[in-house]
Amino acid sequence: MTGQPPQRRRQALAVTLIVVASMLAFLAIFAIWVNRQVLNTDNWTRTSTQLLEQPVIRDQVAARLTDELFASVDVQQALRNVLPPRADALAGPVANALRTQVEKTARKALVRPDVQARWADANRTAHEQLLAVLAGGGSTVSTDHGRVVLDLRQLLAQLQQQTGVGGRLRKVLPASATRITLFQSRQLESAQRAVRILRPLPVVLIVASLGLFAAAIAVAPGWRRRAVRAYGIGFIAAGAAALLVRLVAGDQVVGSLSKTAAAEPAIREVWTIATALLVEIAVATLIYGAVIVLGAWVAGPTAWATAVRRVVAPYLRSPAIAYAALALVVAGLIWWEPTPAWRNAPMLLILIALLAAGVEGLRRQVIREFPTATREAAARRRRERWERFWTASRRRGATARETASRAVQSSSSALAAGRESAASRFSSSSSSSGDARLEELERLGRLRQAGVLNDDELRAEKERILRNGQQPSDADQLPATQS
């Protein structure tokens, strides 16, 4: 009894550590998502391509490009400069018609595969340059007097080479229109600091979560299996909470950014595509939690878990077999890539280390529980089980055949008894019928002697009785009627 309160305090401390570890896992889900979505050029390019493939987003992009173009260039004034003085009144209608035509052309162009490919290339280049400037500078995106400037001149030159339009557009655009300030110096410094924090943050959070989990196991040695199960449940809760936050936050983001009802479908589509990676990470966390809970169950005291450990004990006792099987499983998972973590080197190393730790812990447990388990004994038990199964199957077959034979015999006996009963009833009925006919014939003889019946009537009644075996009809009543 004296050791019970300290044990409870240890369990309470372990539970607290696991709760904090689960909260860190929850934060790690969003850190991983932001890191891979914002700082990974491949994911950024893939997302931008998926966005452009949506018709509602293409329409919004075409409208935005048209608005930006006509906001940067006074098309109506440019038309007045090239039209004769008498046609100045046509500048406005022509500019409006040109605006409609430009937007229509932009929508058609954004559907073309070559334009979408150039869109992907442009997004890849822009993202690479943005990461470069966050690290110090670049060619298209560079620092200029404390500002981060996006220079469109090179893009316009490329557009001129492809379509022959860029050069004329560059002549019309003012110099300020080809240089867009992205960040001021203070904003750049904040962005660079955020990137420096964000890059290692996922690994830091995951390692901290695993460290707290290890501490929970260390402070409560008698509660280890339950601690493992609790940590798995915490992972499941973290993944489910992340999905819930995405759902609630999506409604808030779409509602705040949608200035008009027409823009809401496009913004919702952007949110859905941009958070698809978050869904993958949250679902992966749910899967990891389920695997951890399953591992805790395999190590548990239930009859099924003990049977599973007894079956695998001869193989887990051998390190070569156990770790060779683990290597095959890891190779299959790396090839399959069921979750995003299997595509990231640091996370891959962490997962492999956790799997190895789980296998080693299970090995030690089965060695303690089944110290004499060998593959030969396991093979012998399998042969014995197979022989028992085969013997029992044959016995069940013989029993079934015997039961069927008894049923057939019983049916035959019942049928024979039925036949005998019917024959006896028929015999009894026949005997009764014969006695009745004799009595009727004797009565007919007495009626003939009394003169009630003549010879013809007597002959007719005899034929009727002998032929049909029926009761006499009106002849029986003759004596009564005539008397």
CB 182 within 8 A of CB 169: no
Residue 254, CA distances (Å) to 51, 89, 262, 271, 401 in order: 16, 42, 12, 8, 72
Q: Tell me what the mean pLDDT of segment 260-268 comes to.
A: 80
* Secondary-structure breakdown of the chain: helix, strand, coil percentages, each rounded to the nearest 5: 85, 5, 10
Q: For the segment 111-123, what is each residue's pLDDT rounded down to a tens digit?
A: 888 878 877 887 7
pTM across the whole model: 0.66
What b-and-e string marks burial along 24-60, b requiring 16 or more CB atoms within 10 Å of the CB?
bbbbbbbbbbbbbbebbeebbbbbbbbbbebebbbbb
Q: For the segment 130-172, what is each residue's pLDDT rounded down to a tens digit?
A: 777 777 655 455 555 555 555 555 544 444 444 444 444 445 4
Task: Look at residue 331 in the predicted model and tell me its pLDDT.
Answer: 92
Q: What values do phi and psi take at 318, rounded to 5?
A: -95, 115
| Residue predicted with more confidence, 12 or 396 | 12
| Least confident stretch, 110-124, 183-197, 240-254 | 183-197
